[in-house]
Amino acid sequence: MAETKTLFPVGRALLLVGAVLLVVGLFLPWFTIGGARQDVVAGSYTGVGLTTLLNDLANGPYAWAAFIWLILVAVFGVMSAFVGRKFAMFGTSGILVLILYAILIYVAASLASSQDPSGGTATISFAYGFILAVIGSALIETGARLKKPAPAAMPAAPPAAAPPATEQLNR
């Protein structure tokens, strides 16, 4: 039978806190985009807004798969905390998806700025929701990787003095 890996109670708490931070971070501002572009409208974008923007720029629903994956990372984090089993690498995959979001919005803004005949540019800055989502994913991964501490070694009791042999006492 396969070995079941159980979680340390601190790991369970980290999983829950990480999942809450990730879910809350999805609906807080991720990026602030500035500039006078028509296709990349200036403003503050949450995870949902950024996903919609990337889908509009890519002409497809591709970014929703990444957004749904982030929700699944949070669900598996909560499930790990309550069931007590480890689901490896979900926090790391969440961080990688968030990095992919950052790369895609940077590339999209750079391409849009370079193709603008009027010379307009789009500037991008990170917002606190994105940082919160990264921290949440990192806490999910940390909580899943925490191992139960090994029990402390008990010192052996000193050997008791040998009782005198009965033969020697009878003489």
Distance CA 118, CA 111 (A): 14
**Using an 8 Å Cβ cutoff, are 132 and 74 in contact?**
no
Q: How many CB atoms lie within 10 A of CB 137?
A: 28
pTM: 0.75
Provide the CA 161 distance to its chain's centre, in angstroms: 58
The one-letter amino acid code at 35 reads G
Q: At 69, is the pLDDT very low, low, confident or very high (cuts 50, 70, 90)?
A: very high
Give mean pLDDT, residues 90-94.
87
pLDDT single digits (tens) 95-110: 999 999 889 888 877 7
pLDDT single digits (tens) 18-29: 999 999 999 999
Q: At 122, is the pLDDT very low, low, confident or very high (cuts 50, 70, 90)?
A: confident
**Using an 8 Å Cβ cutoff, are 90 and 76 in contact?**
yes
Distance CA 134, CA 138 (A): 6
DSSP letter string over 51-63? HHHHHHHHTSSHH
34 - beta bridge partners? Answer: 123
Residue 5 or residue 110, greater confidence: 110
